[in-house]
Every structure is written in structure tokens, then in C-alpha cells.
Amino acid sequence: SRAKAVFSVMGMTCSACAGSVEKAVKRLPGIHEAVVDVLNNRAQVLFYPSYVNEETIRETIEDVGFEATLIQ
């Protein structure tokens, strides 16, 4: 079954930032959808917990260069 995670993502200043976060998260296995909202500093990810988890997604966002916190 599918799970949802919402992250606060700090440091994104343009839509290209959001695009790079979305692209990186979508490259992970087990991701159904990733939507990044630069105006609200949020990333919402739908994923399959058998393949990937919140911490791996969070670390992937950080690897792109932004500070990510799981908030929901």
C-alpha cells in the first residue's frame, strides 16, 4: 500500500530548485509521486514503504542541497 510524507524544505529560492528536488526524489525506487511547492517550502511525496522510507527521501532532498524536515 501507499504512504504519504510531507517535508519542510528550506533554502529553495526558485522553481528550478523545486524541480531539482522533484527530479531527485522521483529517481528513487518506490516513489509514486513527488510535488514540491517552492512558495510554501513543502515537498509532498507518495511512496511504497516496501521500497523506500521517509528518511531515505529526506536524505535525498538534503543531497540536492536543501534542509529537509519530516513534518507529516
Applying CB under 6 A, the residues found at the interface with ligand 9UX are: 13-14, 16-17
Cβ at position 49, least distance to ligand 9UX in Å: 30
Q: Which C-beta is closer to ligand 9UX: that of 28 or that of 38?
A: 38
Cβ at position 5, least distance to ligand 9UX in Å: 22
Q: β-pairing, 31-37 with 42-47?
A: antiparallel
Cβ at position 61, least distance to ligand 9UX in Å: 13
Q: What is the CA radius of gyration of the chain?
A: 11
Query: At which residue does the C-alpha cell 531515505 appear?
Result: 56
Phi-psi region of 53 (alpha: psi -120 to 50; beta: other; left: phi over 0): beta
